[in-house]
């Protein structure tokens, strides 16, 4: 019987590279990455062959699409050697700013949002992949760094709002982890799409994360609050979600 995303999540073990117990050998990593890249190239080739008429009946395309869909499901819980953690951030109510503040003032406030976000993301080894007008897509090498960056950004925005109450910046964020296909101008994939859906479903001042993110970090000092299941367009099953809270603080006896 074909395994589902939930099967992968139930069987998930914390990545060795994130809990300090060693990592795969260089040879194993290289073999894994090479095989994954070959599968991706075969899928791309099947799409091109169908579009240029070489696979007129679509037999090869049908076979490769089945592999592609299966691969996308498994990569929601991909290994730490091939994945990225995705952060989507959105300035809530930015469209009304231009009416409320005027074009020049609204533009300056959005630039301040971008500046605070860039500082927070780069501080924790993240990379901004693109700006979406009033939002940001960023990638991180692992989940703890993305969560630290999200919490740091939220605290920065809270400080800004207290200091400048006439020009508040209300931000919602979504965090997911999985396989990412990246080119010179953008990043793509099922995991990217889910991160965007999480951001859309979040609330101002909140960080909404997928269940796989919680599973990897519940023993890393982070606190999570269960939220509603997300029925996201394009996903066949509801996604369990959690709000990221402030990190736990520990005191010595």
For the chain, domain boundaries: 5-77, 83-244
Query: Which of 13-22, 40-49, 107-116, 228-237 is predicted most confidently?
Result: 107-116
Residues 19-71 pLDDT 10s: 333 334 556 555 655 666 777 788 878 888 888 888 888 888 888 878 766 66
Q: What is the mean pLDDT of the chain?
A: 80
Residues 177-203 pLDDT 10s: 988 887 777 888 888 999 999 999 999
Answer CATH for 83-244 from 3.30.70.1230, 3.10.290.10, 3.30.43.10, 1.10.3720.10: 3.30.70.1230
pLDDT score recorded for residue 25: 52
| Residue of higher predicted confidence among 3 and 244 | 244
CB atoms closer than 10 angstroms to residue 125: 14
First to last CA, the chain: 52
pLDDT score recorded for residue 11: 42
pLDDT score recorded for residue 20: 34
């Amino acid at each position: 019987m074909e395994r589902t995303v939930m099967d992968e999540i139930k069987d998930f073990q914390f990545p060795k590279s994130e809990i300090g117990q060693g990592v795969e050998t260089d040879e194993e990593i290289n073999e894994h990455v090479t095989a994954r890249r070959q599968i991706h190239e075969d899928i791309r080739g099947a799409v091109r062959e169908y579009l240029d008429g070489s696979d007129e009946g679509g037999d090869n395309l049908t076979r490769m699409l089945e592999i592609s869909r299966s691969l996308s499901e498994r990569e929601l819980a991909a290994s730490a050697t091939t994945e990225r953690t995705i952060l989507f951030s959105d300035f809530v109510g930015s469209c009304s700013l231009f009416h409320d503040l005027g074009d020049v003032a609204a533009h300056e406030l959005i630039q301040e949002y971008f500046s605070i976000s860039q500082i927070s993301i780069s501080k924790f080894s993240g990379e901004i992949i693109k700006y979406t007008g009033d939002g940001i897509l960023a990638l991180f090498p692992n989940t703890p760094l993305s969560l630290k960056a999200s919490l740091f950004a939220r605290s920065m925005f809270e400080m800004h709002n207290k200091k400048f109450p006439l020009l508040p910046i209300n931000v919602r964020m979504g965090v997911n982890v999985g396989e990412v296909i990246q080119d010179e101008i953008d990043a793509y994939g099922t995991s990217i799409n889910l991160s965007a859906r999480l951001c859309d479903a979040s609330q101002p001042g909140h960080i909404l994360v997928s269940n796989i993110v919680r599973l990897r970090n519940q023993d890393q000092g982070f606190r999570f609050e269960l939220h509603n299941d997300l029925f996201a367009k394009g996903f066949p099953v509801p996604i369990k979600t959690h709000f990221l809270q402030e990190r736990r603080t520990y005191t010595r006896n």
